[in-house]
């Protein structure tokens, strides 16, 4: 059995990464065309290439689950065409034992996926988005798009510029009371975060107190500012969509939004999809095995590839269908994320029971 397991690991891993290479090449080419279609004249070909290179880890991670399914489908299909899969089945190797032989390659794919999604992809995405905005709008790219806004209790804050070291420039803060009336406005030239006290220091600004009849404005050179918003959270909100954040960053965003009584469903969907990623990979591997030993046992490579593409698209569309239900109908995010995988796994189990 060790010989069979080693053989399955080599064949399956090679098929997955060859499939990944093909899909990444195709999608990167289309992504390059899309980037070159940007309207800003200052964003040229070299800028687009740099952006694509920095965001490549994220695209690889997003494609890997589909490449696992297609790669296993092609690898097991090739074994079936050569009679090797039939020989293993005649020798008493059950479908579940064949699936166990795929676990080492599945583990390798999971390690690669988590390494990309938690380390390489977020760093590359943030650098890529910063560079793209600077190439398009110059150094004050954030202010060109209206700045970054966030809410902290009864305060609404606008940030004009977020430096690479975490410092802020152009901070405007509006405070409202329970009656939604503006009570104070603050403007500061810059702000620096002190991790030792978990607070910001505002520099060179004015504070205007708004009364029922009169207003009072006071200038300051330095002022402390307590807020749960950190440079890391600001950078994530400014440059990263939820699906591009690391798991820890998503968790912090959820905690911040819940503290502010704001909806965090979009972040929860990404959070649970990341947590349940091993289940998703396992379900797609099981489905690939079920299709090969079931309805496509005697089919050619072209038919398997066609079916694989349609099944992969079906899985993605099913994910896209259930995700809005969590937002619109209040379905728990974990259920919306897990249901597509459960449906496909049950279909795989049914095929195995029927044809095994």
pLDDT of 151-168, one tens digit each?
888 899 999 888 888 899
Q: Give the model's pLDDT for residue 166.
A: 87
* Res 143: pLDDT: 63
Q: Is the pLDDT of residue 19 over 70?
A: yes
Query: Looking at residues 1-24, what average pLDDT do you find?
Result: 91
Mean of all residue pLDDT scores within the chain = 88
Residue 267 burial class via C-beta count within 10 angstroms: exposed 0-12, middle 13-18, buried 19 and up:
buried
In this predicted structure, the answer to whether residue 105 has a pLDDT above a threshold of 70 is yes
Phi, psi of 147 (to 5 degrees): 80, 180
Q: pLDDT confidence of 66, banded at 50, 70, 90?
A: very high
Strands (E), the chain: 148-152, 155-162, 168-176, 182-194, 199-210, 215-225
Pick from 179, 174, 181: nearest CA to 159: 174
Task: With cut-offs at 50, 70 and 90, classify the pLDDT of residue 319.
Answer: confident
Q: Is the pLDDT of residue 247 over 90?
A: yes
At residue 298, the pLDDT reads 67
Contacts with 193 (C-beta within 8 Å, 6 or more apart), sequence order = 166, 167, 199, 200, 201, 230, 231
Percent of the chain exceeding pLDDT 70 equals 95
Average pLDDT over residues 42-63: 92
Higher pLDDT pick, 205 / 330: 205
Coil, helix or strand at residue 166: coil
Residue, of 143 and 3, whose pLDDT is higher: 3
More confident position, 199 or 296: 199
pLDDT score of 44: 85
237 or 274: which leads in pLDDT: 274
Q: How much is the pLDDT for 95?
A: 87
User: Which position has the higher pLDDT, 250 or 352?
Assistant: 250
Binned at pLDDT 50, 70 and 90, residue 118 comes out as very high
| Least confident residue range of 173-187, 217-231, 241-255, 284-298 | 284-298
pLDDT for res 236: 87
Residues above pLDDT 90, as percent of the chain: 51
Q: Give all domains of the chain, ordered by start, each with its CATH number.
A: 2-137+264-355 (no CATH), 154-227 (2.60.450.10)
């Amino acid at each position: 059995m060790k010989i069979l397991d080693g053989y399955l690991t080599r064949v399956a891993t090679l098929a997955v990464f060859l499939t990944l290479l093909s899909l990444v090449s195709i999608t990167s080419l289309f992504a390059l065309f899309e980037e070159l279609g940007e309207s800003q004249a200052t964003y040229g070909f070299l800028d687009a290439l740099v952006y694509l290179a920095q965001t490549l880890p994220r695209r690889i991670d997003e494609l890997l689950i589909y490449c696992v399914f297609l790669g296993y489908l092609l690898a097991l299909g090739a074994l079936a065409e050569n009679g090797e899969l039939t020989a293993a089945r005649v020798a008493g190797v059950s479908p579940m034992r064949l699936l166990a032989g795929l676990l080492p390659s599945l583990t390798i794919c999971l390690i690669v996926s988590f390494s990309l999604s938690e380390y390489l992809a977020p760093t590359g995405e943030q650098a890529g988005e910063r560079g793209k905005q600077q190439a398009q709008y110059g150094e004050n790219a954030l202010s060109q798009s209206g700045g970054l806004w966030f809410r902290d209790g009864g305060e609404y804050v606008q940030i004009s510029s977020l430096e690479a070291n975490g410092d802020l420039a152009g901070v405007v803060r509006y405070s409202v009371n329970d009656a939604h009336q503006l009570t104070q406005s603050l403007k500061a030239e810059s702000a620096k975060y002190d991790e030792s006290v978990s607070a910001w220091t505002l520099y060179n600004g004015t504070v205007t107190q708004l009364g029922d009849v009169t207003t009072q404005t006071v200038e300051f050179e330095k002022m402390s500012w307590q807020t749960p918003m950190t440079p890391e959270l600001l950078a994530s909100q400014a440059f990263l969509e939820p699906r591009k954040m690391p798991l820890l960053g998503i968790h912090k965003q959820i905690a911040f939004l819940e503290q502010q009584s704001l909806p965090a469903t979009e972040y929860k969907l990404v959070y649970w999809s990341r947590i349940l990623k091993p289940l998703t990979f396992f379900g797609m591997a099981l489905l690939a095995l079920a299709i090969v030993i079931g309805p496509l046992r005697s089919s050619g490579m072209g038919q398997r590839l066609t079916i694989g593409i349609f099944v992969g698209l079906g899985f993605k569309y099913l994910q896209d269908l259930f995700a809005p239900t969590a937002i619109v109908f209040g379905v728990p995010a974990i259920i919306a994320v897990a249901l597509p995988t459960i449906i496909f796994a049950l279909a795989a189990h049914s095929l195995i029971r029927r044809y095994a």
